[in-house]
Structure 1
Amino acid sequence: GPSRRRRSPSPPRPCKETFNVFYHEADADTATALTPPWMENPYVKVDTVAAEHLSRWAGGAGGGRPSGRVNRKTLRLGPLSRAGFYLA
């Protein structure tokens, strides 16, 4: 019969991970593993951040260095009324 041409599958697309950024104001550096509680309240959500691009490693598997591209995003906190804050 006639030969069929098979298309090679598209390379897998990497997923872009997201994470949430929170802050908690404080007047002193008193945080421990238990306080303030690691939950949305008392922390205030600032934003959900997603990667604009993913780093690829130059030099092959198991070695090399990142491609040099950096993800950056400027976030605004506040208004702030205490001496400092924690980010989570």
Structure 2
Amino acid sequence: MLRHPSAFTSSTKQDVPTELVLIDFGLSFVSTLVEDKAVDLYVLERAFASTHPDSEPMFASVLQAYERALTAREWKAVKNRLDDVRLRGRKRSMVG
């Protein structure tokens, strides 16, 4: 799967109101690591939340697309790791 380390909303475009497309793949690379996928999703989630406060439905669509693209086993691993990454992120922001 392609990894997109600069997953910010400035790296997206929306041609159709219901379709989000990632652009700007200059820093991207292919990775099969669960940690990489989870961290990318977390960074994108934080970017959505910081720039578009009402973006929960849009991020939920991203998660649904991931779930459809992966096998059930792969998705479970990524989802569980995303939960772990979220916890790490919260601890980091609480500590400083």
Of the two, which has the highest radius of gyration? 1
Relative to the length of structure 2, the TM-score reads 0.23
Larger relative strand fraction: 1
Relative to the length of structure 1, the TM-score reads 0.24
Larger relative helix fraction: 2
Higher relative contact order (CA 8 A, sep 6+): 1
